[in-house]
Amino acid sequence: QQLMRRSWYLATLEFPGTCATFSLCNTFHKMTLEGKCTSYNYHKGITKLSNNLGHLDTKVCGNDGVRKVEETRQGELVVLCPACPHPGINLPDNWSNPNNPKQWLYMFFLAIDACFRLKRKLISTHKKYPPLQPGWAYMVDPKPYQEYLLSVTDQDEMSTCTGLAALDYANTKFSKGYAQTRLGMCCWAQHEMVRKNAAGALQKGERYSNMDYIVASWLRHLYHLLALVLSYDIVCQWSKRCISRMAALPPNVRLHAVFFFIKFVIPKLHIYGHKLACQILYSLNFMKGVGRTDVEGIEHTWANMGPVATSTKEMGPGSSLDALEDHLGHWNWGRLSNLVFNWSSGHTKHLIQGKLLHKRCIVAIQELALQEASLEWFSGEQIAEIPLWRQAVEDFEDNPSKPNPFELPSSGTLLYLEFGCFPSSYCPRHGFTGYQSSNCR
394: Cβ contacts below 8 Å, ≥ 6 apart: none
Q: Tell me: the pLDDT tens digits for 124-156?
A: 888 888 888 888 999 999 999 999 998 887 666
How far apart, in whole angstroms, are the C-alpha atoms of residue 376 and residue 369?
11
CA 386 to chain centre: 37
Q: Which of 207, 167, 199 is closest to 183 using CA atoms?
A: 199
CB 113 within 8 A of CB 302: yes
- Decide: helix, strand or coil at residue 163: coil
Q: Which of 167, 143, 142 is closest to 155 using CA atoms?
A: 167
Domain ranges (residues) in the chain: 2-46, 73-340, 355-393
- Enumerate the H helices of 9-134 as residue ranges: 22-35, 39-46
More confident: 64 or 177: 177
How far apart, in whole angstroms, are the C-alpha atoms of residue 112 and residue 106?
19
For the beta carbon of residue 80, count every other beta carbon within 10 angstroms.
16
Strands 182-188 and 431-432: unpaired
- Mean pLDDT (whole number) for 73-88: 87
Q: Tell me: the pLDDT tens digits for 41-63?
A: 888 888 777 666 665 554 555 55
**Quick one: pLDDT at residue 45?**
84
- Mean pLDDT (whole number) for 106-110: 89
What's the predicted TM-score (pTM) here? 0.76
**Quick one: pLDDT at residue 351?**
46
Q: Is the dihedral of CA 401, 407, 410, 411 positive or negative?
A: positive
How far apart, in whole angstroms, are the C-alpha atoms of residue 96 and residue 420?
57
